[in-house]
Amino acid sequence: VGTPTKTSGVGAGRAADLRYIERAARTIAEVSEGPKIVVEKSTIPVKTAEALLTILRSNSRHGDFQVLSNPEFLAEGTAIADLRDPERILIGGERTPAGEAAMATLADIYARWVPRERILTTNLWSSELSKLVANAFLAQRISSINSISALCEATGADVGEVADAIGRDSRIGPKFLRASVGFGGSCFRKDILNLVYLCEHFGLPEVAEYWERVVRMNDWQKDRFTRMIVSTLFNTVSEKRIAVLGFAFKKDTNDTRDSPAIAVVRGLLQENATVAVYDPKVPAEAIRHEVLGPGATDARLVVATSAAEAAAGSHALAVLTEWDEFRSLDFVAIHAGMHKPACVFDGRNILPRAELERIGYRVFSIGKPASA
């Protein structure tokens, strides 16, 4: 059941819109006959189960209900593997005999393919909150290393080397320490802002401000990348062609929700650039819809069918999604068809930098010293 962010009223832009959750609960209560276990799978605010139980128990004449929280921890691109071999299964329920029995029933289902030691049981509120906090912590790590990437560029340090050095500390670990143009997707921003709203609701403004900074840092990183392109191209991209390689928020998906590419492309268009976008999986109409809005057109936004087509006649390449095919493009041929000096802005730090510099590109990578 979807839990989009509210677009109007109290909490607009932050709070979760629970109308669909409520509608589902009322439907269950209406058709239910006998005792039922209702399992929350959606990412929802803490205490939602309390509202669900109230609706279910107030609107059904047949049987009792137990509400369990069982958030999913699947990632786009690896969802099937994550389902088959999960790191953990989290089940939250009421700490009553009936609640414990309901949790045991759901745990028995998972135990058919998941080892028992990976199945965790908690109270309802811990489980509901854990999903929001998990996404917030992952996004926090990305914003943290991205903040350091700016310092690396200012000092001559290499963010990849810094990330490797700190990631070898077992207390930190290496995951989610890849500096980039920023995070995207349907969950991170939405869930952090929901967490911010919850903190404000419960009178914790300092905690709310802390987590909101994670989102602000991400927005700043995207803006900083756009400004890097403009300033490098002699402080103007007006009437210049910029090739954007990648539009999905990450590789192995066609999902463009909150993709960093949206902000970068819009920023370049505002600077009067012509932007040629190529993504191997995202349809042209989806790109236009995200950048311009439903049905809108702009001749300066070009959707190419290949990286070479996007790059032809361009002043710069900007890599915004880490698609594997971008690592092995014919950069010699692409360079021959570009205006000089030909610049590459690697927003994912995936390109063979030394090779590009030998060809003649000026290369600008996140958190690394710029080419001469």
pLDDT in tens, the chain (372 residues): 888 888 999 999 988 899 999 999 999 988 988 899 999 998 888 888 899 999 998 988 777 899 999 999 988 888 899 999 999 999 999 999 999 999 999 999 999 999 999 999 999 999 999 999 999 999 999 999 999 999 999 999 999 999 999 999 999 999 999 999 999 999 999 999 999 999 999 999 999 999 999 999 999 999 999 999 999 999 999 999 999 999 999 999 999 999 999 999 999 999 999 999 999 999 999 999 999 999 899 999 999 999 999 999 999 999 999 999 999 999 999 999 999 999 999 999 999 999 999 999 999 999 998 876
62 exposure class (CB count in 10 Å sphere: 0-12, 13-18, 19+) = exposed
**pLDDT confidence of residue 216:** 98
Neighbours of 322 (CB within 10 A): 20
Specify whether 295 is located in the same domain as 190.
Answer: no
1, part of any domain = no
46, part of any domain = yes
Specify whether 359 is located in the same domain as 237.
Answer: yes
CA dihedral 151, 155, 156, 157 (to 10 degrees): -50
Task: Write the CA distances from 87 to 14, 117, 150, 274, 297, integer angstroms.
Answer: 29, 10, 33, 45, 45
3-class secondary structure per residue, 131-175: HHHHHHHHHHHHHHHHHHHHHHHHHCCCHHHHHHHHHCCCCCCCC
Type of residue at 322:
E
Q: What is the DSSP letter of 186?
A: S
Task: Write the CA distances from 139 to 35, 164, 188, 354, integer angstroms.
Answer: 39, 18, 6, 30
**pLDDT confidence of residue 275:** 99
13, part of any domain = no
Shortest CA distance to 108 belongs to which of 123, 129, 89, 122? 89
Domain ranges, residue 209: 138-216
Specify whether 86 is located in the same domain as 142.
Answer: no
Q: What is the CATH number of the domain that holds 146?
A: 1.10.1040.10
**Which tokens in the block code for residue 191?**
């869930």
Which pTM does this prediction carry? 0.92
**pLDDT confidence of residue 23:** 93
Specify whether 91 is located in the same domain as 178.
Answer: no
**Which tokens in the block code for residue 342?**
């030909």
Q: What is the CATH number of the domain that holds 331?
A: 3.40.50.720
296, part of any domain = yes
Picking from 95, 129, 163, the residue at the C-terminal end of a domain is: 129
Could you give the CA distance from residue 258 to residue 189 in angstroms, rounded to a whole number? 8
357, part of any domain = yes
> In sequence order, what are the residues at sequence separation of 6 or more whose Cβ sits closer than 8 angstroms to the Cβ of residue 54?
none
Could you give the CA distance from residue 343 to residue 327 in angstroms, rounded to a whole number? 16
Could you give the CA distance from residue 316 to residue 295 in angstroms, rounded to a whole number? 28
Picking from 182, 216, 250, the residue at the C-terminal end of a domain is: 216
Type of residue at 214:
V
Picking from 109, 129, 149, the residue at the C-terminal end of a domain is: 129
**187 annotated active-site:** yes
Q: How many domains does the chain have?
A: 3
Specify whether 179 is located in the same domain as 252.
Answer: no
Q: Which residues pair with 38 in a beta bridge?
A: 67
Specify whether 164 is located in the same domain as 271.
Answer: no
**pLDDT confidence of residue 190:** 95
Catalytic choice (152, 187, 199, 343): 187
371, part of any domain = no
Could you give the CA distance from residue 198 to residue 64 in angstroms, rounded to a whole number? 29
**pLDDT confidence of residue 372:** 67
Three-state DSSP class for residue 177: coil
252, part of any domain = yes
Specify whether 237 is located in the same domain as 168.
Answer: no
Could you give the CA distance from residue 91 to residue 185 in angstroms, rounded to a whole number? 25
Could you give the CA distance from residue 329 to residue 19 in angstroms, rounded to a whole number? 47
173, part of any domain = yes
**pLDDT confidence of residue 78:** 87
**Which tokens in the block code for residue 28?**
């269950």
